[in-house]
Structure 1
Amino acid sequence: MTVRRRSTGEFTGRHMLIITLTFFGVIIAVNMTMATLARSSWTGLVVQNSYVASQQFNRKAEEGRAQAALHWQGRLTVADGVVRYTLLDAAGKPVLPTSVKVAFRHPASDAEDRTIELMPEPGGAFSARQAVRDGAWIVEVDADIGRTSPYRQVQRVFVRNGAIQ
């Protein structure tokens, strides 16, 4: 009867089993972590009812074309804890809305979304003292200009050190 001795560096079935279980264990753990983070971070809900939203698309597109024909320019600034918005007509003169609301929406979650009502300043600008957290934001400005629909400006901005970059 011969007894076979294993050398210290020999690769066995036990080693292969441990490697295989570790490999698939890491894959499963990463997938579970990513699924949990994805589910808890954003609902994915963009509109309550996609059919109703599709019915309004043509009307909103026409409003956008009418607004673009005005050739107005809106300027949003965020600096030193102050949000400021100025609206200029095609000739560069200030347009004086009756009210301005600015909605800051985070692209990935709605946990920090907020709407700020800006107050008029002398010279036609509107402002509010409000710090904006650093990061990417989708900003929607609605300026009531006395028409059936407000002047709307939507832009994506990046805030760093409290100011738009």
Structure 2
Amino acid sequence: MSEKTPAVKKFTGYHATAIIVAFFAVVVVVNLVMAQFALSTFSGTVVDNSYVASQKYNDWLEQARNQEEHGWTVSPALRKAGKASIAITTGDGAPLQGATMEAIAEHPIGQSDPFEISFTQGASGEYQSVQPLPEGRWKLKIIITQDDKNMRVVRDIW
């Protein structure tokens, strides 16, 4: 009786080539998928011209100091009945009365064009947008004006 030994397959150059090609194919596919995610979620632009932004930096700091002197507190933006709602209080905690408020709504990753929103003050003292705000996440660049005082704030809303 003769026993048959199982045939051992040799590792050849074709096997090595297939392994190397498969490895690099996986690396390339993962890189392409990650690049697609990166390009579709963030434009990469923080400021359009960093040199010009650096020249204006001290002016922006001065504006921020002036805004703090007003003593106003701006709440986070909330979505109520499809509209943006923001409360602004004075230094003593009372609602800010008689201010005008305008905003630019921007999609944080640029999926839609920015648009303007105006606000009116309700009986409770909160400011509510006149225009409805589409669903999703938005960045509101807000300008609040009362007499000769103004304040610029940015609020995210979901």
TM range, normalised to the smaller chain? 0.7 to 0.9
Structure 1 residues 9, 119: CA separation in 2 closer, same or farther (over 3 Å shift)? farther
CA contact 1:138–1:156 (8 Å) conserved in 2: yes
CA distance in 2, matches of 1:97, 1:10: 86
Q: The residue matched to 2:52 in structure 1 has which SS?
A: helix
Aligned counterparts, 1:78-157, within 5 A: 78-107=79-108, 109-112=109-112, 113-128=114-129, 130-135=132-137, 137-147=138-148, 150-157=150-157
The TM-score, its normalising length taken from structure 1, stands at 0.72
- 1:47 equivalent to 2:44? Answer no
Q: How many residues align?
A: 150
Which sections of structure 1, spanning at least 5 residues, go unmatched? 1-5, 160-165
Q: Which amino acid aligns with 1:88?
A: T
CA distance in 2, matches of 1:97, 1:9: 86
Indicate the RMSD between aligned Cα atoms, in angstroms.
2.8
Q: CA deviation at 1:20?
A: 0.9
Identity %: 26
Q: CA deviation at 1:50?
A: 1.9
CA distance in 2, matches of 1:143, 1:97: 10
Which sections of structure 2, spanning at least 5 residues, go unmatched? 1-5
CA distance in 2, matches of 1:118, 1:141: 10
CA distance in 1, matches of 2:98, 2:154: 17
The one-character-per-residue Cα deviations of 1:112-160 (angstroms, maximum 9, x if unpaired) are: 344422223234332125244344x443321122336x31222445x2x
